[in-house]
Structure formats: C-alpha cells, structure tokens
A and B are shown apart, each in its own frame.
Chain A
Amino acid sequence: MKQALEGIRVLDLSQWLQGPVCAQYLADFGAEVIHVERPKGGDGARGVRSIKALAIGDWNQYFLVINRNKKSLAVDLKKPEGQELFYELVRKSDVFLSNFQRQNLDAWGLTWEKLRDINPRLIFATNSGYGHAREINRPSYDINVQALTGLMTRQGEPGEPPIYLGMGSGDTYGGLMSALGIMLALHERRRTGRGQFLDASLYGAQLFMAAPTLQPFLASANSLYSEQQARSQAGNPLWNRYQVKDKWVFLCLEDTDENWAALCESFERPELASDVRFDSAAKRTEHNAELVAVLDSILQEQDSEEWIGRCRSSGIPAAPIQNLKDVSGDAQAWENDYLLKVHCGEVNREVDVRGLPITLSKTPGRVESLGPELGQDTELILMDLLEMEWDRISELKEQGVIP
C-alpha cells in the first residue's frame, strides 16, 4: 500500500521532543526521515534513564517511540567536513527541521540563507522556544514555557499549586503545529517551486493550546478564565466532576429544567426536581455549592458502572474518569490503532506503544520500526543517496566526521 508522504525526504536535526515528534508524524505517513545526530551520545533523549523518578525499564520508550520509522545518521557538524556532508544531504532533501537554538545552527553554518542557496526548494523549519521575531536565548523547556503562558495557574482547586499539564504536553503540541506548517509549505512549494522558512515555537503553540480559556480572557479580562475555579462553584453543576463509590465520573448535561428533571428521574430522586432551591437554571447556579453537595452524597451510594449505565439508558452524557491503566485496556483505543503492538529490537519482544491518532482511510499511517540505533544508517545513506565511494567514507571515518 502506498503511503501519503512517500518521496518526501526530511533531515531531522532535532533532539529531545518537539522536533522529533514533528518528524515522527511525517515518518508515520511515509516520509523518509533521517534523524541526524552527533556521533558522541547522539540525541540527548537516548540518555533518558528515568521517568518521574522511576527507572525507565529495559527499553527506552521515550526515545524509541518518538523516533520510530526513522533512519539515523551520525555526523560531527562542528567539523567543516561534516558541514559539507550535510550540505550534500540538503541538496537532496525536501525538508530541514531543527529545534536547536539559533546560535548552534549559526555555528554549524546551517542558516536559512545558506541552505536556501544550496537548495531553493528546501523547507527550512525550526522549533524555537519563544518565536522567531526576537532573539531570546533562554533555554526553553516545556514546563518553563508553559509557566509563562498562564495555563498552569488556572488549573485545579483554589489554593492548590499550579498544575503542569503532563510530561512534554506542550512539546507534542508544538510538534503537531510544526508538522502542519511543513505540510502547508510543501503545498505552497507545489505551486511556486520554492521552499521557505517557517517556525513553530513552543511558546506560540502553548498560547494557542490555551485557547478555550485564554481567548475569552483576552476578550474580557475576566478572572474566571485566569484563576482556579472550585468544583463546588460550578456555573453549571450538571456539567461537573463527581466522586462515586469506586472512582470519579464526568457529567456533561446542559442546564435546562428538562435535563434536570431527567437527571433526578435517572438518579431515582424525583422529589429533587421540584426542590425550590434548584427549580431553575439560575437557582441551580446560585445554590451550586449546595447542589454539588447533594449530588455528591447521592452519587457516593453506587459505583461508576451503575451510574454510567443509568446515564446511558436515559441519554445523559457521562463518562467514568479512567486512569492510564483503564485506557491501556480500552477496546476503543486499540480498535482505532491509537495504541499498537510493535516489535522492539532492544528487548526482542512485542511492546505496547502509542499509535496513530490521525486516521486516513486510503493511506493510513504505519509503525514499521521503533527508533534507530545511533548512526545505524550512516554508511548506507552516504553510499545510496550521495553515491559516495567507500574510500571517501573511510576517510570521513578517519577524520572523525562520522563514527
């Protein structure tokens, strides 16, 4: 079966997460992605040994999953010969991607101006930390960029610490944005024959990611959007999280009298529907703390299976709040290939990995291999793509340009 991005070659000079995950999306759909790494140690993510203070286990899922379907070429870009070699690769590629800081690219002679002269069709994509318009040379880790956006401060109950949205949550979003930018540039190139420079920064991506609350805040400056909101102060108590006997559930019911009556019916408390404290949407908002307490006490009586069953049979939208163990066994995730089983060479067995969240009916994504060993494709790429003689390759090895 043909893949959508067959024939597109990407030089993935990126490390850690945002850049690699961008290139991963392209590789999943068939682009030829060459992960370019330094000969000593390679991509920093190869060194990950623990996740949340736990040993990473017997295979490095952090690196291997993000860099699946890719080749690895190791080259020392500090050496002029390494830079020349890279220029030769640029001549034969469609996309250059980097999340290194600009001063690194300058030092390696890999500026947009330089690479554009070598290959006018090249798409030069960067993932800066804070945007292309200003020179900001601070390190940009996911969490400290997220801290600037304001997104963390509004999460959770009042008085609790801010909440970081999950390991690499902003990086993966920036990676998606970057992949979209690259596809847009490829479309434009089809018409004009020319590449361009594009940047999808971590800061820009995370500001956009905050849209559901940041956009109304920009419009209204209402602290409702920027400050923590208590569960008991829900503007619509029927659209809220409740603790039942065994876990939590999320109830999502528009606040109409009809829906309130249906809920009371479903929960076998018909008398509540006419309770004067709660007999209109305005009153349900006004007495929200009371109503949340009433629903809390009712819902504590049964487990989630019982409540979700009742909600489904009454047409009330509700879901159990699952944990990662639940989702890892969720048939819906497996049937859609959101989770996949793949052979892992490092441990020589089948492992479970995140799969393919974008479904294309005729040219679906694929996971054919997990991340490559450092430099494993170096010689092959030099021979096949650059048509180098073995003598020249030996020479480069002796010079320490390639391992």
Chain B
Amino acid sequence: MSGALQDVVVIETTREFYASLAGALLGDFGATVIRVVDISDARTVDHGRDGMHPPERWNSLDELAHRNKQSLAVNLAEPAGREILEKLVAGADVFLTDAPSATLDNEGCDYESLCALKPDIVLTRASGFGPKGPDRDLPAYDELAAARTGVMPTLPQPGQPPVYTGVGQMHTAVMLALGTMIALHHREECGEGQVVDASLFGGNMYSQSLDMQAYLAIRDDRFLEPLSRLDSGNPMSGPMYPSSDGRWVTLAMPDTDKYWPAFAEIMGLDVTDPRFDSHEKRCGESRLEMMQVLDERFRTRPGSHWKQALDEKQLPADVIEKYDYPAADSNAEANRYILNLEHPTHGAVQSLGFPIHMSESPARLRRMAPCVGQHTAEILQERLGYADARIQELEAEGILGAEPLA
C-alpha cells in the first residue's frame, strides 16, 4: 500500500493550528512534510491563549496538527541557515505557510523568490482575510474571522450571546489542502506552479453557506436574528425538544407524511388527530400547536426512552450526544475516524484519525508528531547530502538546534 502523495515534498513554516493541519492532511496520505522551525524566532503559538485550552498531560492539538511530519530546526537569520532552507525549497513541490505577506517578503519566501529556487513551486498561503482587499493584512485569528462572517448572532436562542464554534478554521484547513492538490494537478498537466490562498474569513463564510446564500437571495431580516427553538417551519424537522432528564431530541423528518404514523405512535398521539392529519396542517395551520404538544410529550420521558423508541422505528431522529459518545463508538473506531494509539510517552491515548477512506492508498499514521528539530541531522544528510563534519560545524555555530535562541 503506497501513499497517494508519496512523490510530493512539502516544506512547511506554519504556526497556527488550522494551517498546520493542512500539512498534516497531506502528510496523512504519504507526502513528505518537513516543518522548518526558525530558532532565531522565539515566538510560539500557545493553544491556551484563549483560556479554553488548559495545559494537558500531552499536547493533543499539536499531535494532530504535526503528525506524519519531520521537524528541522535552523537559524534563518544566518546565511548558512538560510542556505539550508533554499536547498530544501529547490527540491520541494509545495511551500505551505501562514506567515503574513510582509514577513514572507522580508524572509525571501515570497512567490517570486521561491520561484527563483524552484520555478514550478506551489506556494500555499493560509491567510486571515484573503489575498486582496483592504483588510488582507489584519491579524488572523479564527475568532476575528468568524466574527466578521455573520453566523455568530444567528446560532443561539434569542437574547443569548453570539456563539463561536471554532469550526470555520477547519473548513479553511481542508480548503488549503484541496487548493494545493488542484494546483499540483495543474502543474502536472502544464508544468507551472502558482499561489494558492484560503483564508479564515472564507472558511468561516463557507461553514454557513446555506444561511448566507439564503440571505443573499431573499434579503429577509429574519436570517439576521436567532430563531427560537419552537419557531420552525416543520415541527418534525429542525426543532429540538427536551426530555425529562435534560437531554435533547432532534428530529430530521422533512417528509412528515412518510414518518407520521410511526412517529405519532411513539409519541402516544392519535394518528388520525384532525389537527395533525396532513403534512399541510402539520407544517401550516397547526404548526405551533403541534410543537407545543410535542414539547410537552417529550418532557414526560428520559432521553434513553426516546433513543430506544426512535431507533426501533428507524426514524431519522436522535438524542443529542456529548463527546463521550464518539469516544466510545465502535463505528468511529472501525472507520478509523478515531484512533486508539500507544503513545511512546503517554501510553494508551485516543486521537482523531482520518476522515477520508481510500481503498488503494489509505491514510496512515507513519509517525507521531516530532519534537522540534528531531530530524534536522537526518534531513541534512539524506536530503541535502551534508557530511557529518559539516553538520557538527553548523551545530557548533548555533545554526542548528532544537531550542529557540533566547
């Protein structure tokens, strides 16, 4: 079994989680991904900066973002260090970064400079707000992009604070990987590289594309405000109802005619009740009354009762779970969406796996996330042909190392 990208070399200088994740997606499918860490730059990204990610026994976000990568630590402020980066680029297919454009210019990693080293390079840039426009250089945090994109006020119940979900950046991560693959495809066909950009702003916009598109087309202010949970066009599709023990049930039965007989039976309602005996009545004149009735009924029994009853009838409806559900779900494990691993230092751990199944070139966990500089000597020897003596010289001169220089 080969990796689909076994012939692809990616040089990566990302800092933020989402951008690093794009590199991991390529590495999962066999690409050689070399993270170049500049030891002359002491700035690090702290996942705990938002106050929502306290220190853990192991840094699981870094583990996910840097798996299947090699790490090379080098002082890019020194010519001999810079030369190493240039030689790596000359043998690479993709340069992946989330550095601001000004930084890329200063570091000689702008597209023109990279092209001078490798004429058909694909430069993939993770940005905050896209390559053009007045705000292209604004600070790039997922939260700031999410705030701009209009979804946050629509998510909660009326009167509640706007909601930040954190999933917008996950769209951007896949867009970066997808854009890179499309650019590589074009390069194979025509021999030219190019610049790929996907932004947190774009990713967040597209994480809610149907709501956004509906507003663009209909321009109704109803799309700007939160909707109450009991303000749905269809009592059997979309609303959520609380059970007696505080768990919530969600229904997804847009075609109510098809499901009404079985559903009415579960709910202890008369299938011939004249208030609810047609789709038109259920979603029209009796809509609000039906939601009130269902709300009362669902409150009479615990979540486990509803889960079993809905399961038995194979209805598209669910009791809403917590993260402990996928963590223990054998189907998530069977599909390798969640991996049970033996970590060299931490023993048995769980980690997210691979969302794409491929029969001939599946994703593989070839190596856990590296320590900073773990592969420096190896890469210099094997990829660039440096002699041992030269490597030791560079180490002595402070050009290589694993620790940022103070």
B-contacting residues of A (Cβ < 8 Å)? Answer: 2, 4-7, 17, 25, 29, 50-57, 59, 61-62, 65, 112, 130-134, 136-144, 147-157, 160-169, 172-173, 176-181, 183-188, 190-192, 194, 196-201, 203-205, 207-222, 224-227, 229, 231, 234-237, 239, 241, 243, 248-250, 252, 254-255, 285, 317-328, 330-333, 335-336, 338-339, 351-354, 357-363
Contact = CB atoms under 8 A, between A and B. Distances in A.
Contacts of A332: 129-130, 133-136, 148, 201
B69 interface: no
Nearest to A124: B359
Contacts, number: 512
Contacts of A322: 147-150
B162 A321 contact: yes
Given A198-B356, A203-B332, A218-B352, A156 B163 contact: yes
B151 to A, nearest CB: 6
B342 interface: no
The residue among B202, B336, B351 with the most chain A CB atoms within 10 A of its own CB is B202
Nearest to B58: A219
A323 B144 contact: no
Interface residues of B, number: 151
- Nearest 3 CB-CB pairings of A with B: A236-B51, A235-B51, A53-B233
B240 A162 contact: yes
A171 B252 CA distance: 14
Contacts of A225: 323
A160 B250 CA distance: 14
B160 interface: yes
Given A144-B317, A219-B351, A176 B56 contact: no
Contacts of A222: 54, 56
A59 to B, nearest CB: 7
23 contacts: A56-B214, A62-B214, A134-B335, A147-B250, A150-B322, A165-B155, A179-B178, A181-B356, A183-B182, A183-B185, A188-B361, A198-B356, A199-B356, A205-B355, A212-B170, A220-B56, A226-B324, A250-B143, A318-B144, A322-B148, A333-B201, A357-B198, A361-B197
Interface stretch (B76-84, B217-225, B262-270): B217-225
A235 B227 contact: no
B391 interface: no
A323 B322 contact: no
Interface in B158-181: 160-167, 169-171, 174-175, 177-179, 181
A360 B322 contact: no
A338 B166 CA distance: 20
B205 A358 contact: no
B338 A168 contact: no
Contacts of B356: 177-178, 180-181, 184, 198-200, 204
